[in-house]
Structure 1
């Protein structure tokens, strides 16, 4: 087990001049204008392909991995967390983030575990749990990150700490999502750390504030911590009521409290939906996510999920709706799947036309612009899936999370092993 001792002071806070709510990169405007790079918002095979030129913020500018980083006035300690593959839990020294408007629904200052004594006088100093996803170690794909982010939010709630998000891999999440009800946007600088193991399992019994007393704790994870916290005697009575109505309700409620698209991402979504005729539809808008996994186009993926040559049942499923006047949307990680759908369904087919990447497998790429653009298209595809009247998911957190955000199990299906089946339980 490797051990690293931090020798420097880590500063945690917003970047100089950065405001409390960050929806765009510094200095960038909310206006969607023209750029030198043209991207297809919707592609039809009728020759009426309309393109939107957008000011792409991305252009400027599955291992279950857990990592905690705690910053405080104590010596630096980095705890390595074991799950399916090695992960990390990290403590470092530093100052707490600046806190002008950070608010958690239902929180009071007495709940925050940050009361200090100054010359006999009680003063308030909040503590934080911050979800971390940087390029130093794998964070998983977008669905994995959503799961880990929501789990960390729940951890912050039950420990009485304020919550933050620091996702910079493959680029800054704040270019695409901004705080909804919870002010999670903040910056930080990080340093070397020391490692040891067992955090996910320990959550069943551990007192987090006793084990990690530092003011700021960074957590890198794609695990679900709900069940561990539910049986933890320190926290089971502190779970919020909105988290106690089942997994779909918990994730959807937490995500809605945390995230809303930036104006840039929302503009891309609205442009796509308008061009696809979504707002004027008289028949169900039918969508599918086909995750192929490892292929010649995606050699860095972790496993093969579906076979590109065994999609007959999905095409038959689409055909039932298209013959009745519906349009279909295809999200996939394999260009051959997209092209087959275009050829089979012509003007009834829609896709974002975007770059296909796995957001975690591009973190080491030298072409940061390309990685960011791939991230943007990934987020756009998922947002479209949340709008569908009929949704077919794959064995992938990406479309499974889309189904949860969509908020209904009605007309929800799953494509796996060459078959389309109705989802009866979430």
Structure 2
């Protein structure tokens, strides 16, 4: 798919413009990428991704159908503007007016974690410019389409995914859970805690009901949660291994590239689960959105597991 811009300018989803300001975690960046792509489509601009922190995104994901790789030499001599739409909707409301008039620069470096797909769909200026595949009221389905238009695993990352998946019994359903804790001893500088270690026993009890699963995959931002799962499930528990790292808040650590890869592997595996328990976290919710499967979805909050109905069938 070619954007064929009528405007000679660019919208670049950027997470590398100085690391003294937050670029957001991986799910924040995924929301921003989808938003920037749809914005580029409706404003007639070429779309690009500039992500080099904590490592170059192209180590793990490369262009699929849409070529979002733009060489820096192509931008030389062009006027540039840096927009920061992080954690608020003030900036994104620009899509209700003429974006190109308000931001006439040739190149727009946009850093955002806002899910503004619905805002663009309903924009009096740009809503009618959304093609049919981007008009679905289910944002999860629109994200699914955009993600797979843009992204495919690099050869290296595909090999890493296959290496892990080949460890699993092929005939069994894969039962998985993502336990997001936020602030905990593994990532002490994250936001307020949303789950506690004392409540995960209720999740383990729920997962034990799936007797057909010989392995249970656990992803978490807490090493203590991993240890708890291993103690409860024994040899049935499986995880990516390595260590846990927040790609934004801990992105300057010497081993940040490896930590980034571990996080992306976690999400890739979660997207391949027949049964998935998500946390109140964009990380696992985006994994469900990425999935090509009609997953059986649940949500874990404060020791309670309930069906998760916000995402309907994602099989296209």
Q: Under a length normalisation based on structure 1, what TM-score does the superposition of the two structures give? A: 0.67
Give CA-to-partner distance per residue, 1:175-223, whole Å, 9 cap, x none: 11100001111344999988899422232x2211111112111100000
Aligned residue for 2:300, secondary structure, equals strand
In 1, the alpha carbon distance for the partners of 2:83 and 2:141 equals 35
* Pair 1:300–1:210, CA change in 2 (3 A): same
Residue 133 in structure 1 maps to residue 15 in structure 2:
yes
Alignment length (residue pairs):
300
Aligned residue for 1:260, secondary structure, equals strand
In 1, the alpha carbon distance for the partners of 2:63 and 2:83 equals 31
The Cα of 1:408 is off from its aligned counterpart by: 5.0
Aligned residue for 1:149, secondary structure, equals helix
Residue 250 in structure 1 maps to residue 139 in structure 2:
no
The Cα of 1:346 is off from its aligned counterpart by: 1.8
Residue 357 (structure 1) aligns with: 245
Picking from 327, 334, 340, the partner of 2:228 is 340
Once the two structures are superposed, the pairs formed by residues 298-317 of structure 1 within 5 Å of their partners are 298-317=187-206
Residue 113 (structure 2) aligns with: 222
Once the two structures are superposed, the pairs formed by residues 144-159 of structure 1 within 5 Å of their partners are 144-159=28-43
Contact between 2:186 and 2:222, CA under 8 Å: does it hold in 1?
yes
In 1, the alpha carbon distance for the partners of 2:61 and 2:191 equals 27
Aligned residue for 1:233, secondary structure, equals coil
In 2, the alpha carbon distance for the partners of 1:196 and 1:264 equals 32
Once the two structures are superposed, the pairs formed by residues 9-408 of structure 1 within 5 Å of their partners are 105=1, 107-108=3-4, 111-114=5-8, 127-134=9-16, 135-188=19-72, 198-203=90-95, 205-245=96-136, 246-277=138-169, 280-281=170-171, 283-321=172-210, 323-363=211-251, 365=252, 367-368=253-254, 370-407=255-292
Contact between 1:174 and 1:185, CA under 8 Å: does it hold in 2?
no
Residue 420 in structure 1 maps to residue 295 in structure 2:
no
Contact between 1:248 and 1:407, CA under 8 Å: does it hold in 2?
no
The Cα of 1:402 is off from its aligned counterpart by: 0.2
**Structure with more of its chain in helix, by fraction:** 2
Contact between 2:83 and 2:109, CA under 8 Å: does it hold in 1?
no
Give CA-to-partner distance per residue, 1:243-264, whole Å, 9 cap, x none: 1122121000000000011011
Aligned residue for 1:219, secondary structure, equals strand
Unaligned runs of 5+ in 1: 1-104, 115-126
Contact between 1:276 and 1:350, CA under 8 Å: does it hold in 2?
no
Between 242-251 and 143-152, report the one with greater CA deviation. Answer: 242-251
Contact between 2:61 and 2:153, CA under 8 Å: does it hold in 1?
yes
Contact between 2:80 and 2:107, CA under 8 Å: does it hold in 1?
no
Rg comparison, structure with higher value? 1
Larger RCO (CA within 8 A; separation ≥ 6): 1
Aligned residue for 1:287, secondary structure, equals strand
The Cα of 1:136 is off from its aligned counterpart by: 4.2
Between 323-332 and 337-346, report the one with greater CA deviation. Answer: 323-332
Residue 80 (structure 1) aligns with: none
The Cα of 1:228 is off from its aligned counterpart by: 2.2
Contact between 2:82 and 2:108, CA under 8 Å: does it hold in 1?
no
In 1, the alpha carbon distance for the partners of 2:228 and 2:144 equals 33
Q: Under a length normalisation based on structure 2, what TM-score does the superposition of the two structures give? A: 0.89
User: Which 4+ stretches in 1 moved above 6 angstroms?
Assistant: 189-197
The Cα of 1:305 is off from its aligned counterpart by: 1.6
Give CA-to-partner distance per residue, 1:285-332, whole Å, 9 cap, x none: 1000001110122111112121011112211112112x4443110001
In 2, the alpha carbon distance for the partners of 1:153 and 1:170 equals 22
Aligned residue for 1:391, secondary structure, equals strand
Aligned residue for 1:154, secondary structure, equals helix
Contact between 1:290 and 1:331, CA under 8 Å: does it hold in 2?
yes
Between 338-347 and 285-294, report the one with greater CA deviation. Answer: 338-347
Contact between 1:177 and 1:259, CA under 8 Å: does it hold in 2?
yes
Unaligned runs of 5+ in 2: 312-316
